[in-house]
Amino acid sequence: MPEGHTIHALAGRVQDAFAGTPVRFSSPQGRFAESAAALDGACVESAEAHGKHLAIHVEGEQVVHVHLGLFGRFGVRQHRRVDRGEPPTDLPVAGQVRMRMVNRTHVGDLRGPIVCELVTPTEWREVRAGLGADPLRDDRLPDAVRDRLARTRRAIGAVLMDQSLVAGVGNVYRAELLHRHELDPHTPARDVPAGVVTAIWDDLVRLMPLGVRTGRILVSDSDVERAEALIAKGGTGRVRPHYAVYRRHGKPCPRCGETVVKETMAGRNLFRCPGCQR
Ligand SMILES: [Zn+2]
């Protein structure tokens, strides 16, 4: 499952490629054909992400709402037909392309999403209202979310992955941040001190933009410092990530030496150190 930072990066690529230009929409596979016909030729205004949801705003009060799910892919690339005045309509299609966007310079092919629908701006606002706080949009943890965390008996490890509370946080950030703050993922959210909740949120606000920028989930201080130093020198910052617990079950915890374990929580693999996450 792509984490929220990959969808924000995708929104940036769609925005850079298509915003402000007329776009040919089509559905080579056919399942989005009617909506594509309604959109075809209209100007794309902007693209944005909220959590793992992507919205492409198109002139005429139209919004394409996309959720990639586990297997969806949205590839955006430059095509080689830059010399033509009109967007080319005969670019080859590979595989099951639900929605294709083409302008004079770029082609975007969406394959295998769990959601690809044409909605109104009001309907998109309703989708957003059902999503939780997004560390890539909200610098401060909204009070409404903080209040819900302070009341719920559910495990902090499950709550962090609940898209209606916190949008866009995936398995890697969950595992690593709970380890960093020495929290047992099974701790009821209401028992986590407010200061620790704030610290986790501040980490997400600081780390997820670096994930958008580098395409890597970087959490450890040394990885972050190396990436930031490379970016400062004009590089991509794509360092190889080092994790303390994520996918390190059976190996010793770098902090306390106890063996990292893998279990299942809310249907996803959960990695934790039984030694220092209590
Ligand atoms: Zn440990």
pLDDT in tens, 118-158: 999 999 999 998 888 999 988 899 898 999 999 999 999 99
Q: Kindly list the structural domains of the chain, giving each domain's residue range(s) and its CATH number in brackets, ordered by start.
A: 4-129 (3.20.190.10), 143-272 (1.10.8.50)
More confident call, 70 vs 14:
14
Active-site annotation holder among 24, 52, 174, 180: 52
Give catalytic status of residue 268 as yes or no: yes
**Phi, psi at residue 26, to the nearest 5°?**
-150, 170
Of 9, 24, 3, nearest to 89 by C-alpha is 24
Give catalytic status of residue 247 as yes or no: no
Q: Are the beta carbons of 65 and 54 closer than 8 angstroms?
A: yes
DSSP state of 137: T
Residues in the chain: 278
Which residue's structure tokens are 């994930």?
Answer: 211
**Residue ranges with CB less than 5 Å from ion ligand 1:** 253, 255-256, 258, 273, 275-276
**Any idea of the CA torsion for 1, 108, 166, 157, to the nearest 10 degrees?**
10
Active-site annotation holder among 3, 174, 180, 213: 3
Active-site annotation holder among 13, 31, 128, 268: 268
Per-residue model confidence as pLDDT tens digits over 202-247 = 999 999 999 999 999 999 999 999 999 999 999 999 999 999 999 9
Give catalytic status of residue 248 as yes or no: no
Q: How far is CA 172 from CA 5, 32, 50, in A?
A: 12, 33, 19
Q: Which two tokens stand for residue 157?
A: 């490890």
Give catalytic status of residue 252 as yes or no: no
Contacts of 183 (CB under 8 A, 6+ apart): 156, 192, 196, 277
HSE, side-chain direction, 13 A CA sphere, residue 121: 8
Residue 81 has pLDDT above 80, yes or no: no
State the average pLDDT over residues 64-92: 86
H or E stretch at 34: helix 33-39
As a whole number of angstroms, the distance between CA 50 and CA 258 comes to 37
What is the 209 CA–ligand 1 centroid distance (Å)? Answer: 27
Q: How confident is the model at residue 82 (pLDDT cuts 50, 70, 90)?
A: low
